[in-house]
Amino acid sequence: MKCLIAGAALVLLAVPAFADGDAAAGEDQFNRQCVTCHVIKDPDGNTLAGRNANTGPNLYGIVGEAPGAVEGFNFGDSVKEWGETGAVWDEDNFVGYVMNPTGFLREVLDNRRARAKMAYQVRDEQQARDIWAYLESIQPEE
């Protein structure tokens, strides 16, 4: 039993631990990496981040929402299919998706033909978590 506990502890120590993201760092990353394609605009038309980009969907209010559910945006079939499974945007889904959009969709849909329209990949997991923390920080109050 002691060996089992010791082994489990070693495995846990070997896995990189990421604290919750840093919203301020995420804002900086969003303004460096995401504004080319995305905007964050509230329902009143106020731009909270980004410019007038519309290559990707408006990211305002996506926390907890189904993938592919932003009205007025033409999502790819794979993202819509994923959203129809009951999936929602949470930190782990966001991080997995932005780090490898097509690979992530192929995995969650168990379909090697699934494809994402988003070609850009965030290369650093902590940066992806920081961007998520930023998106959470500017979401609408419920």
- pTM for the predicted model, two decimal places: 0.84
Say if residue 19's pLDDT is above 90.
no
Mean of per-residue pLDDT scores for the chain: 88
The CATH code of the domain that includes 109 is: 1.10.760.10
- Exposed/middle/buried for 7, CB within 10 Å: 0-12, 13-18, 19+? exposed
User: Are 37 and 55 contacting, i.e. CB atoms less than 8 angstroms apart?
Assistant: yes
Q: Is residue 13 part of a domain?
A: no
Q: Which residues contact 141 (CB under 8 A, 6 or more apart)?
A: none
Give the domain range for residue 104: 38-137
- On the question of pLDDT at 2 being above 60, the answer is no
106: pLDDT strictly greater than 90: yes
12 located within any domain? no
Instruction: Give mean pLDDT, residues 50-56.
Output: 87
Number of domains in the chain: 1
